[in-house]
Amino acid sequence: MRPVTLSSYRLRACCAARGASLALALTFAAGSGGAQERTAAASGEVERVVVAMGTSLQLRVSASDRATALRASEAAVRTIERTEQRLSTWRRDSELSRWHASPIGSGFAASAALCEDLRRADRWRVETAGAFDPAIGALVDAYDLRGAGRWPTPAALVDARRRCGMSHVTIATRSLRRDAAVRLDAGAFGKGAALDAGAAAALAAGAETALLDFGGQQLLAGAAASRSLDVADPRDRARPALRLRIDGGSAATTGNSERGRRRDGRLLGHVIDPRTGALAEDFGSVTVLAARAFDADCLSTACFVLGPAGAVALAEQLEGVEALALVVDGDTGALSVRFSSGLRGRVTPLSPGLQLP
């Protein structure tokens, strides 16, 4: 998460602009009947685009009147800003960075919110048998994932792995301790945490519906009708590969096509397998649906590590979680799809030749 720049934002407030084009149409298209339902439900609607956590955040908030919708959208943005101040490791003054700068082995007085974030992240480490582990700051540095990128030497990898793993971290109600020079990386859960908090703040401020798109992860909260979401083709993210119907909650996608770069002739991805220290094998992309954005965010990263079969198997085990993997054949370049059973009847192929299983 890069630093927030709230100065650069575009605000578009519209009062009951029924049937107007959606700011979020890039990613969300109204499901059947959606527009009419919004007309009945709300006479005030606000659409905004702001830059937060170094990426674009689009909000569409509806409420009974325009003033309430504006207040609710502002509450969401401020809350997301506070989440960034807690979790960003791009800024030295964030709470997480201050903990990293504190002495190893000593108790760090942390906010209840940070302790809760880390407890939830650690639960996903356990549930995914270590495919997700946010205590990978040393490996992120070894691969220079925040810079130009590099392939670390075997010795550098061994050294980095010693400084990784949530097993080095003790989380109490209001304090944190680490027994080695581990650093956490909120790259795979910070946006999710911000989305949940932002949507909750909007609803608490009177919004009836909040639709947020944060750097490609969406959250649909409140009394919203179902929506359809286009999932990008991992070979060319400007093209949609398929359309998914979602009935609320969050959708997170992880794939290297988003950030693909090559070093020494090999694709250097941005997802690490914490169990081995290697980069996760690139197969295409995975999209995870879950009620909470935090969970979808963590799980899409874990599912990318686990690969298509592991991703679907994990989703089948978890109540309320669905996964969809788009797989690019390494030889032919052909695209195929597989998904968990809860997505049956909710997937429409858009890419020519893409067959449903």
How many residues at the interface with ligand ADP, by CB under 6 A?
Answer: 19
Of 69 and 219, which has the nearer Cβ to Mg ion? 219
Shortest Å distance, C-beta 218 to ligand ADP: 12
x/- site string to ligand ADP, residues 221 to 260, per CB under 6 A? ---------------------------------x---x--
Q: Which does 258 bind (CB under 5 to 8 A by kind): ligand ADP, Mg ion, none?
A: ligand ADP
Residue 129 CA, chain-centre distance (Å), reads 20
Q: Pick the binder of ligand ADP from 52, 272, 303, 325 (CB under 6 A).
A: 272
- Per the structure block, which two tokens stand in for 134? 């946010």
Does residue 43 contact residue 26 with C-beta atoms inside 8 Å? Answer: no
Rounded distance, CA 308 to CA 258, Å? 18
Main-chain dihedrals φ then ψ at residue 83, nearest 5 degrees: -65, -40
Rounded distance, CA 341 to CA 344, Å? 6
Shortest Å distance, C-beta 6 to ligand ADP: 20
x/- site string to ligand ADP, residues 108 to 147, per CB under 6 A? ------------------------xxx-x---x----x--
User: In the range 161-200, which residues lie near Mg ion by CB under 5 A?
Assistant: 188
Does residue 126 contact residue 133 with C-beta atoms inside 8 Å? Answer: no
Residue closest to ligand ADP, measured at CB? 187
Q: Which does 270 bind (CB under 5 to 8 A by kind): ligand ADP, Mg ion, none?
A: ligand ADP
End-to-end alpha-carbon separation of the chain, Å?
Answer: 36
Binding status of residue 256 toward Mg ion by CB under 5 A:
no
Q: Which does 306 bind (CB under 5 to 8 A by kind): ligand ADP, Mg ion, none?
A: none
Q: How deeply is 57 buried, as exposed, middle or buried, from its count of CB atoms within 10 A (0-12, 13-18, 19+)?
A: buried
Angle, CA of 185, 318 and 250, to the nearest 5°: 60
Shortest Å distance, C-beta 254 to ligand ADP: 4
Angle, CA of 6, 117 and 232, to the nearest 5°: 60
User: In the range 58-117, which residues lie near Mg ion by CB under 5 A?
Assistant: none
Of 46 and 302, which has the nearer Cβ to ligand ADP? 302
Of 70 and 272, which has the nearer Cβ to ligand ADP? 272
Angle, CA of 155, 181 and 263, to the nearest 5°: 40
3-state secondary structure 100-161: HHCCCCCCEECCHHHHHHHHHHHHHHHHCCCCCCCCCHHHHHHCCCCCCCCCCCHHHHHHHH
Residues near ligand ADP (CB under 6 A) are 132-134, 136, 140, 145, 185, 187-188, 254, 258, 270-272, 274, 297, 300-301, 305
